[in-house]
């Protein structure tokens, strides 16, 4: 019996050592908190492993619209990667995550205008000023959705892959499902910004609260806006201003005069970009100027 015990103990020790070594090799994993890589309203299915010309699909296709912002899934270093060997060059980005995982962003924008002109090369694929090797924050703007490469002419989408340190691509679907959808892409700088909520619809109002459904959003430091529809609960501080703009001029308005279904333009108060404001949890953002346009 003692001998048998010893044998069992040794076998167990061998298993533990093998487990520890195996665990070291697989130590990198996707962080618990991640930013959904496209800001906007998207749809996607688990098409990992689906048959494709020359092999199987190595990622998930996140269907979107042209020029929607793409953001860093986790913090890490970016590598811009144009693939010139195709008829229409593919504009890609690899994000080397701080966790050790790697994320591939494929079919980034190559169009100058609102249509599929293929005139921009990869000059409009990435966030302006983004440098190779630059370290980015989670949720930071890195590029724009498009149809470059072998997606030319089809529905603009982000082909998103997740790779282990070994290089093996894994199914991103479960990670995309649990990633947090953001209201806005954050700039590299930590300087305060404002959001312009264009043509938002009033959902409800409270004593110090304005609930809207957004439509298009502009971040103050950029000249472009993007489509984003979701409900946002804004706090309304005493200094917030409300006005009606019509053919006969401007007139003051109050929060309580707003009714469900009205279309407004709302500017937020200035704030420092943060994870909480990017997620736009209730009252994380404050209204500053609200305009109702009526004829």
Round to whole Å and give the CA distance between 268 and 1: 76
What are residue 212's phi and psi, to 5 degrees? -130, 160
**Binding of Zn ion by 61 (CB under 5 A):** yes
283: left (phi over 0), alpha (psi -120 to 50) or beta: left
* Contact string 98-127 vs Zn ion (x = CB under 5 A): ------------------------------
**Binding of Zn ion by 80 (CB under 5 A):** no
Looking at residues 224 to 243 of the shown chain, list those that interact with Zn ion (rule: CB under 5 A). Answer: none
CB of 150 to Zn ion, least distance (A): 9
**Binding of Zn ion by 159 (CB under 5 A):** yes
Round to whole Å and give the CA distance between 22 and 128: 41
Residue nearer to Zn ion on the CB measure, 55 or 238: 55
Nearest to 199 by CA among 142, 241, 262, 152: 262
234: left (phi over 0), alpha (psi -120 to 50) or beta: beta
> Binding segment for Zn ion among 154-162, 176-184, 245-253, 274-282 (CB under 5 A)?
154-162
Nearest to 121 by CA among 142, 146, 141: 146
User: For 91, how many CA atoms within 13 A lie in the half-sphere containing its CB?
Assistant: 26
CB of 102 to Zn ion, least distance (A): 16
**Binding of Zn ion by 147 (CB under 5 A):** no
Query: Which tokens go with 30?
Result: 């996707």
Q: Is 211 helix (H, G, I), strand (E, B) or coil?
A: strand
> Site size for Zn ion, by CB under 5 A?
2
> Binding segment for Zn ion among 32-40, 108-116, 156-164, 236-244 (CB under 5 A)?
156-164
Residue nearer to Zn ion on the CB measure, 28 or 63: 63
Residue nearer to Zn ion on the CB measure, 109 or 278: 109
CB of 40 to Zn ion, least distance (A): 18
Give contact residues for Zn ion (rule: CB under 5 A): 61, 159
């Amino acid at each position: 019996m003692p001998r048998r015990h010893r044998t069992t103990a040794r076998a167990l020790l061998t298993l533990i050592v093998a487990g520890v070594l195996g665990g070291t090799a697989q130590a990198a994993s996707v962080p618990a908190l991640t930013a959904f890589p496209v800001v906007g309203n998207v749809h996607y299915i688990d098409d990992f492993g689906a048959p494709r010309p020359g092999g199987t699909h190595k990622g998930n296709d996140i269907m979107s619209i042209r020029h929607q912002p793409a953001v860093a899934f986790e913090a890490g270093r970016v590598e811009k990667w144009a693939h010139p060997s195709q008829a229409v060059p593919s504009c890609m980005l690899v994000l080397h995550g701080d966790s050790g995982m790697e994320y591939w962003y494929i079919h980034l924008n190559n169009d100058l205008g609102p249509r599929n002109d293929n005139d921009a090369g990869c000059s409009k694929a990435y966030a302006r000023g983004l440098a190779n090797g630059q370290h980015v924050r989670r949720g930071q703007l890195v590029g724009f959705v498009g149809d470059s490469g072998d997606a030319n002419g089809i529905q603009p989408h982000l082909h998103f892959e997740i790779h282990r340190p070994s290089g093996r691509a894994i199914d991103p679907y479960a990670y995309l499902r649990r990633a947090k959808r953001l209201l806005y892409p954050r700039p590299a700088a930590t300087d305060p910004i404002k959001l312009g909520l264009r043509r938002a619809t009033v959902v409800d109002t409270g004593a110090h609260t304005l609930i809207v459904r957004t439509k298009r959003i502009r971040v103050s430091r950029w000249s472009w806006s993007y489509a984003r529809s979701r409900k946002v609960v804004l706090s309304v501080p005493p200094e917030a201003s409300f006005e009606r703009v019509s053919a006969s001029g401007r007139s003051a308005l109050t929060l309580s005069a707003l009714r469900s279904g009205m279309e407004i333009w709302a500017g937020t108060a200035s704030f420092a970009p943060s994870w909480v404001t990017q997620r736009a949890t209730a009252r994380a953002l404050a209204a500053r100027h609200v305009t109702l346009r009526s004829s």
